[in-house]
């Protein structure tokens, strides 16, 4: 374990923003993490996984600690479920592929989401009608100040739409070490959300399998979303807003094509990408900061954009959507 000083974070965030960390260290065991925390106890600390849901707007005046914990294992099973534990440094899509190869069903709709497994409960990541809360069993985390291990059940995590206790009252207090997922022995297929059904038809799929659904999701995402290895981005930059049914009906009078999906009782979820596109931002570019031309929900770094430039672009988008629709967009990406 080595603690480095003044290290560029450009290789460690999917936006490719070139900022410096005062200190940088990586851990591959819980004991290494404890050593790092002990040595840097006086520093502000940021735990980093795949760096795929973060925007750095300035140098980080503290310690960035990268989670490199690896390993996937079947820890239990019952008549209906497999219980699969993944260490928090595992790549998320690699984990999905592992589950599909072992016929563990439940995460196939979450194929090709960037980042590591450790971020999955923090964000309650979701796509195409499935969220982490649907497959989550428990996780183990280290409290950074108390140096104590703690387990969290699904109810402990207080999952919401792209939310959990780790984004709110416990933000930056815990390092997630591993997550156990509860995956089905008999698949429960989700193909009615988005364009999955149409994509399966295009692919000529006769027998529905979790592999076929994963392939369809990969094709859809690849057609709409930029590869962060080529174009810096963090996937969806904004959450899809949830508005009251009354507000939705009122907007529908002026904007008949506004999308709407059932949310909790009395509320409708609409599409942030549609709202942004209606405001003329899709394909916009200023310098190296832009709004992706195939999906307005994605902000991109075309090369050497500064994080502040991307943040300022997001602020302009938020303002124009508010002005036109009266809807306040919320950033999904964590800002530092």
Q: Which pLDDT score, from 0 to 100, does residue 224 have?
A: 87
Task: Say how far apart CA 144 and CA 163 lie, in whole Å.
Answer: 21
- Please give the pLDDT value at position 194: 67
- From the CB of residue 190, how many other CB atoms can be counted at a distance below 10 Å? 17
What pLDDT digit, counting tens, does each position of 27-53 carry?
Answer: 999 999 999 999 998 999 999 999 999
Q: Choosing from 90, 108, 162, 314, which is the catalytic residue?
A: 162
Instruction: Judge whether 72-184 and 232-335 match in fold.
Output: no
Catalytic-residue membership of 162? yes
CATH number of this structure's domain 4-67? 3.30.43.10
Catalytic residue among 131, 140, 199, 332: 332
- Does residue 48 contact residue 89 with C-beta atoms inside 8 Å? no
pLDDT at 281: 98
Alpha-carbon radius of gyration of the chain: 20
Q: Hunting for tokens 């982490």 — which residue is that?
A: 132
User: Of residues 14, 120, 236, 314, which has the active-site annotation?
Assistant: 236
pLDDT at 23: 97
**Angle at the Cα of 12 (from 11 to 17), degrees rounded to 5?**
70
Residue-level pLDDT at 265: 85
Note the CATH architecture for domain 232-335: Alpha-Beta Complex (3.90)
Q: At what angle do helices 210-224 and 92-101 cross, to 10 degrees?
A: 150
Q: Measuring CA to CA, how many Å separate 167 from each of 37, 170, 199, 226, 311?
A: 20, 7, 34, 26, 19
> How confident is the model at residue 263, as a pLDDT?
84
Per-residue pLDDT tens, the chain, 336 aa: give them. 789 999 999 999 999 999 999 999 999 999 999 999 999 989 999 999 999 999 999 999 999 999 999 999 999 999 999 999 999 999 999 999 999 999 999 999 999 999 999 999 999 999 998 999 999 999 999 999 898 999 999 999 999 988 999 998 899 899 999 999 999 999 999 998 768 999 999 999 989 999 999 999 999 999 989 999 899 999 999 999 999 999 999 999 999 999 998 888 889 999 999 999 999 999 999 999 999 999 999 999 999 999 999 999 999 999 999 999 999 999 999 999
Q: Does domain 72-184 have CATH number 3.10.20.90?
A: no
Three-class secondary structure assignment of the chain:
CCCEEEEECHHHCCCCCCCEEEEEEEECCHHHHHHHHHHCCCCCEEEECCCCCEECCCCEEEEEEEECCCCEEEEEECCCEEEEEEECCCEHHHHHHHHHHCCCECCHHHCCCCCECCHHHHHCCEECCEEHHHCEEEEEEEECCCCEEEEEEHHHHCCECCECCCCCCCCCCEEEEEEEEEEECCCCCCCCCCCHHHHHHHCCCCCCCHHHHHHHHHHHHHHHCCCCCCCEEEEECECCCEEEHHHHHHHHHHCCCCCCEECCCCEEECCHHHHHHHCCCCCCEECCEEECCCCCCEEEECCCCCHHHHHHHHHHHHHHHHHHHCCCCCECCEEC
pTM (two decimals): 0.89
Please provide residue 281's backbone torsions phi and psi, each rounded to the nearest 5 degrees: -90, -20
Residue 236 a catalytic site member? yes
Domain ranges (residues) in the chain? 4-67, 72-184, 232-335
Q: What is the pLDDT of residues 222-268, one digit of tens each?
A: 998 999 989 999 999 999 999 999 999 999 999 999 999 888 888 99
201: burial class by Cβ within 10 Å (0-12, 13-18, 19+)?
exposed
Active site (annotated) includes residue 332 = yes
């Amino acid at each position: 374990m080595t603690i480095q000083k003044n290290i560029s974070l450009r290789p460690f965030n999917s936006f490719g923003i070139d900022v410096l960390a005062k200190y940088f260290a990586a851990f591959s065991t819980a004991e290494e993490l404890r050593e790092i925390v002990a040595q840097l106890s006086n520093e502000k600390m940021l735990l980093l996984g795949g760096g795929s849901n973060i925007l750095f707007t300035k140098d980080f005046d503290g310690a960035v600690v990268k989670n490199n914990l690896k390993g996937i294992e079947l820890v239990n099973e019952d008549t209906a479920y497999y219980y699969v534990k993944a260490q928090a440094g595992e790549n998320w899509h690699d984990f999905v592929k592992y589950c599909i190869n072992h016929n563990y069903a439940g995460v196939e709709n979450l194929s090709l989401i960037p980042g590591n497994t450790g971020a999955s409960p923090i964000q309650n990541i979701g796509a195409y009608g499935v969220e982490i809360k649907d497959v989550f069993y428990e996780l183990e985390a280290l409290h950074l100040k108390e140096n104590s291990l703690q387990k969290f059940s699904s109810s402990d995590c207080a999952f919401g739409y792209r939310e959990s206790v780790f984004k709110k009252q416990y933000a930056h207090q815990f390092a997630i070490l591993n997550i156990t997922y509860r995956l089905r022995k008999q698949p429960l297929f989700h193909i009615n959300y988005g364009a999955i059904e149409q994509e399966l038809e295009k692919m000529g799929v006769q027998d529905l399998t979790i592999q076929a659904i994963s392939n369809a999701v990969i094709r859809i995402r690849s057609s709409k979303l930029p590869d962060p290895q080529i174009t810096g981005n963090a996937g969806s930059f904004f959450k899809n807003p949830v508005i009251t049914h009354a507000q939705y009906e009122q907007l529908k009078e002026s904007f008949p094509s506004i999308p709407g999906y059932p949310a909790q009782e009395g509320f409708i979820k609409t599409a942030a990408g549609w709202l942004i596109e209606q405001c003329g931002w899709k394909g916009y570019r200023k310098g190296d900061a832009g709004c992706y031309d195939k999906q307005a929900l994605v902000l991109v770094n075309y090369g050497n954009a500064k994080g502040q430039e991307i943040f300022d672009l997001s602020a302009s988008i938020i303002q124009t959507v508010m002005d036109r629709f009266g809807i306040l967009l919320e950033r999904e990406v964590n800002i530092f």
